[in-house]
Structure 1
Amino acid sequence: MENNELLTPIAAFMNHEKADPTRVFLKQPMHGDLIEYRFADALFEIQCMATRLLELPPKSKVAILSLNCAHWVMADLAIMLAGHISVPIYPTASATTLSQILEHSGCRLIFVGKMLDWETKHYLIPGSIQTISMHSEHEGMESWSGITSRYNESDDYPALDIDDMASLIYTSGTTGMPKGVMTSYRCLAEAGILVSDWVELDVKDSFFSYLPLAHAAERVAVEIAAIYCGGVISFVGSMDTFNVDLLTSKATIFLGVPRIWIKFQQAIEAKIPPVVLSILLKIPLFNNLLKAKLLESLGLSDVKIALSGAAALPLETLKWFERLGLPICEAYGMTESFGLSNFNHPDHRTSGSAGRLLPGFELKIADDGEILYKNPCLMMGYYREPELTEQTVKNGFLHTGDTGRVDENGYLWITGRIKDIFKTSKGKYVSPIKIEMELEPRANLDQVCVIGSNLAQPVVLGVIENKPSGSDLTNFESKLEGIRLELNNRLEKNEKLLKWFLVEEVWSTDNDMITPTLKMRRQAIENKYMAQIIKAMASDKSVTWLDT
Structure 2
Amino acid sequence: MIHKTYQEGEDKMSYTPQLLINNKNDFPNESALSTKVNNEWQTFTWSKYYDFVIKISKSLVACGLKPGDKGSIYSYNRKEWFGCYSALQMINSASVGVYHTSSAPEVEWVVGNSDSKIIFVGNNPNDNDEKEKMPIHRLISVIDNLDQIETIVLMGEDIERLDHDKIITWDEFINKGKSINENSILDLMKTIEASDTSTLIYTSGTTGNPKGVELTNKNFEVELDSVLEVLKFNQGEKYVSWLPLAHVFGQLVDNHYWVRRAMHMHIVDSPLNTVDYAKEVQPHLFISVPRIYEKIYSNLKAAIDSKAILKIGLKIPGLSNVFKKKLKEAAGFSNSRFAISGAAPINPDILKLFQSLDIPLFEGYGMTENTAGITINYHGNNKIGSVGKCMPFFNIKIAEDGEVLIKGDNVMKGYYKNPEATNETIIDGWLHTGDVGEIDSDGYLSITGRKKEIYVSSSGKNVAPLVIEETMKSIPIVSQCFLVGDGLKYCSALITLDLGVILRDKLGIDPNQIPKDPYEQNQMIVDNGKNLSDYTDNKEVHAEISEEIDRLNLNFSNPEQIKKFSILPRDFSIDE
TM-score, normalised to structure 1, is 0.87
Task: Sort the Cα spacing of 1:340 and 1:485 in 2 relative to 1 into closer, same or farther, 3 A.
Answer: closer
Alignment partners' CA distance in 1, 2:428 and 2:271? 44
SS of equivalent to 1:37: strand
Give the Å deviation of 1:266. 1.0
Give the Å deviation of 1:307. 0.8
Which aligned pairs between 1:17-32 and structure 2 lie closer than 5 A?
17-32=24-39
Task: Sort the Cα spacing of 1:147 and 1:15 in 2 relative to 1 into closer, same or farther, 3 A.
Answer: same
1:420 aligns with 2:453: yes
Native 8 Å contact 2:328 2:334 kept in 1 = yes
Native 8 Å contact 1:48 1:147 kept in 2 = no
User: Hey, what does 1:520 align to over in structure 2?
Assistant: none
Structure 1 residue runs of 5 or longer lacking an equivalent are 514-548
Alignment partners' CA distance in 1, 2:568 and 2:273? 29
Alignment partners' CA distance in 2, 1:412 and 1:481? 31
SS of equivalent to 2:478: coil
1:145 aligns with 2:166: no
- Of the three residues 156, 165, 172, the one matched with 2:184 is 156
Which aligned pairs between 1:188-203 and structure 2 lie closer than 5 A?
188-203=220-235
Alignment partners' CA distance in 1, 2:436 and 2:483? 18
Alignment partners' CA distance in 2, 1:207 and 1:484? 35
SS of equivalent to 2:474: helix
Alignment partners' CA distance in 2, 1:280 and 1:174? 49
User: Hey, what does 2:46 align to over in structure 1?
Assistant: 39
- Percentage of matched positions with identical amino acids: 28
Task: Sort the Cα spacing of 1:280 and 1:475 in 2 relative to 1 into closer, same or farther, 3 A.
Answer: farther
Alignment partners' CA distance in 1, 2:535 and 2:184? 71
- Of the three residues 545, 551, 560, the one matched with 1:495 is 560
- Of the three residues 98, 103, 116, the one matched with 2:107 is 98
User: Hey, what does 2:372 align to over in structure 1?
Assistant: 339
Aligned letter for 2:242?
Answer: Y
36-45 or 312-321, which deviates more: 36-45
Alignment partners' CA distance in 2, 1:36 and 1:193? 28
Alignment partners' CA distance in 1, 2:562 and 2:260? 48
Give the Å deviation of 1:197. 4.3
C-alpha offsets along residues 30-80 of structure 1, whole Å, 9 cap, x if unaligned? Answer: 211211111111111211111121132422210011111222111101111
1:83 aligns with 2:97: no
Give the Å deviation of 1:201. 2.0
User: Hey, what does 1:508 align to over in structure 2?
Assistant: 573
Native 8 Å contact 2:105 2:142 kept in 1 = no
Native 8 Å contact 2:122 2:155 kept in 1 = yes
Aligned letter for 1:431?
Answer: A
User: Hey, what does 1:187 align to over in structure 2?
Assistant: 219
Task: Sort the Cα spacing of 1:418 and 1:472 in 2 relative to 1 into closer, same or farther, 3 A.
Answer: closer
155-164 or 62-71, which deviates more: 155-164
Alignment partners' CA distance in 2, 1:339 and 1:374? 13
SS of equivalent to 1:295: helix
Task: Sort the Cα spacing of 1:365 and 1:271 in 2 relative to 1 into closer, same or farther, 3 A.
Answer: same
Give the Å deviation of 1:148. 3.1
- Of the three residues 462, 465, 469, the one matched with 2:534 is 469
Alignment partners' CA distance in 2, 1:487 and 1:252? 32
User: Hey, what does 2:202 align to over in structure 1?
Assistant: 170
Alignment partners' CA distance in 2, 1:495 and 1:241? 35
C-alpha offsets along residues 279-318 of structure 1, whole Å, 9 cap, x if unaligned? Answer: 3311222211111111111222111111111111101111
C-alpha offsets along residues 254-289 of structure 1, whole Å, 9 cap, x if unaligned? Answer: 002111001001122333427844433112222111
223-232 or 481-490, which deviates more: 481-490
Alignment partners' CA distance in 2, 1:221 and 1:57? 26
Native 8 Å contact 2:104 2:142 kept in 1 = no
Native 8 Å contact 2:59 2:176 kept in 1 = no
Task: Sort the Cα spacing of 1:506 and 1:21 in 2 relative to 1 into closer, same or farther, 3 A.
Answer: same
1:132 aligns with 2:162: no
Alignment partners' CA distance in 2, 1:18 and 1:203? 13
Alignment partners' CA distance in 2, 1:108 and 1:3? 32
Task: Sort the Cα spacing of 1:180 and 1:42 in 2 relative to 1 into closer, same or farther, 3 A.
Answer: same
8-17 or 54-63, which deviates more: 54-63
Task: Sort the Cα spacing of 1:322 and 1:274 in 2 relative to 1 into closer, same or farther, 3 A.
Answer: farther
User: Hey, what does 1:516 align to over in structure 2?
Assistant: none
User: Hey, what does 1:229 align to over in structure 2?
Assistant: 261
330-339 or 245-254, which deviates more: 245-254
Alignment partners' CA distance in 2, 1:174 and 1:472? 33
SS of equivalent to 2:44: strand
Question: How many pairs align?
Answer: 510
Give the Å deviation of 1:468. 6.0
Native 8 Å contact 1:333 1:342 kept in 2 = yes
Give the Å deviation of 1:391. 0.9
Alignment partners' CA distance in 1, 2:255 and 2:536? 49
C-alpha offsets along residues 401-436 of structure 1, whole Å, 9 cap, x if unaligned? Answer: 111111111111111111110123444321123322
User: Hey, what does 2:15 align to over in structure 1?
Assistant: 8
Give the Å deviation of 1:440. 2.3
Alignment partners' CA distance in 2, 1:296 and 1:46? 35
Native 8 Å contact 1:404 1:416 kept in 2 = yes
Structure 2 residue runs of 5 or longer lacking an equivalent are 1-8, 126-132, 500-531
Native 8 Å contact 2:536 2:569 kept in 1 = no
Alignment partners' CA distance in 2, 1:199 and 1:489? 34
Task: Sort the Cα spacing of 1:217 and 1:237 in 2 relative to 1 into closer, same or farther, 3 A.
Answer: same
1:261 aligns with 2:278: no
- Of the three residues 108, 114, 128, the one matched with 2:123 is 114
354-363 or 441-450, which deviates more: 441-450
1:123 aligns with 2:137: no
User: Hey, what does 2:281 align to over in structure 1?
Assistant: 249
Task: Sort the Cα spacing of 1:23 and 1:489 in 2 relative to 1 into closer, same or farther, 3 A.
Answer: closer
Aligned letter for 2:419?
Answer: P
SS of equivalent to 1:108: strand
Which aligned pairs between 1:390-429 and structure 2 lie closer than 5 A?
390-429=423-462
Aligned letter for 2:250?
Answer: E
Alignment partners' CA distance in 2, 1:446 and 1:273? 20
Query: Pairwise CA RMSD of aligned residues?
Result: 2.3
Give the Å deviation of 1:490. 6.0
User: Hey, what does 2:335 align to over in structure 1?
Assistant: 302
Task: Sort the Cα spacing of 1:290 and 1:172 in 2 relative to 1 into closer, same or farther, 3 A.
Answer: farther
Give the Å deviation of 1:485. 4.2
Native 8 Å contact 1:98 1:124 kept in 2 = no
SS of equivalent to 1:102: helix
Alignment partners' CA distance in 2, 1:428 and 1:360? 37
TM-score, normalised to structure 2, is 0.83
C-alpha offsets along residues 139-180 of structure 1, whole Å, 9 cap, x if unaligned? Answer: 453233333345344333322112111111111445542110
SS of equivalent to 1:273: helix
Task: Sort the Cα spacing of 1:82 and 1:471 in 2 relative to 1 into closer, same or farther, 3 A.
Answer: closer
Alignment partners' CA distance in 1, 2:477 and 2:111? 39
C-alpha offsets along residues 191-223 of structure 1, whole Å, 9 cap, x if unaligned? Answer: 233323431222132211001111111211232
User: Hey, what does 2:508 align to over in structure 1?
Assistant: none
Alignment partners' CA distance in 2, 1:240 and 1:5? 39
SS of equivalent to 1:64: strand
1:383 aligns with 2:416: yes
